[in-house]
Amino acid sequence: MLNVLFVTAEGSKVTAQAEPGARLLEVAQGAGMPLEGTCEGQMACSTCHVIVAPDWFDKLPPASMEEEDMLDLAADVTRTSRLSCQIELTEALDGIEVQIPGVSRDMQIG
C-alpha cells in the first residue's frame, strides 16, 4: 500500500491509500475528489487534470505528446499539470502530493 495526499480546490487535505499499479484517477475518485475522467483514460478529455506537487512531478515519467496536447485544453494548467488517468502509482510514488484544480479557486469560500 502507498499513500497519496490530495489537496482539494478548497485547500483541505485528504489522504488516500492505493495499491501499486493503481491509476491516480481511480484513487482520486475513490477518495471523493471531483474528477470526472469522462473518457476513462483514453486521453480524449481533460477532466482528470491534476496539479502535481513540484517535488513529485520530477519523479513521474514524462507526459506523452498526446497527454501534453490534451493538457493544453485544460483549465488552470500549470507547469506541473498532468492527466491523472496517465499516472500509474508505484512504490516510488508513496507520499505523492496532488492538487485538485478548481474553478472556484479565485472565489471567496463561505
CB of 19 to ligand FES, least distance (A): 19
- Say how far residue 54 (Cα) sits from the centre of its chain: 13
CB of 93 to ligand FES, least distance (A): 18
In the bound state with ligand FES, the residue whose beta carbon lies nearer, of 1 and 65, is 65
Residues composing the chain: 110
In the bound state with ligand FES, the residue whose beta carbon lies nearer, of 49 and 56, is 49
In the bound state with ligand FES, the residue whose beta carbon lies nearer, of 43 and 108, is 43
Q: Do 95 and 3 meet the contact criterion of CB atoms below 8 Å apart?
A: yes
E-strand stretches of 30-107: 49-52, 81-83, 96-99
CB of 97 to ligand FES, least distance (A): 19
In the bound state with ligand FES, the residue whose beta carbon lies nearer, of 36 and 55, is 36
Cα separation, 70 vs 61, in Å, equals 17
Q: Which residues bind ligand FES (CB under 6 A)?
A: 25, 37-41, 43-48, 70, 83, 85
* CA within 13 Å, CB half, 58: 2
**Chain residue at closest Cβ approach to ligand FES:** 85
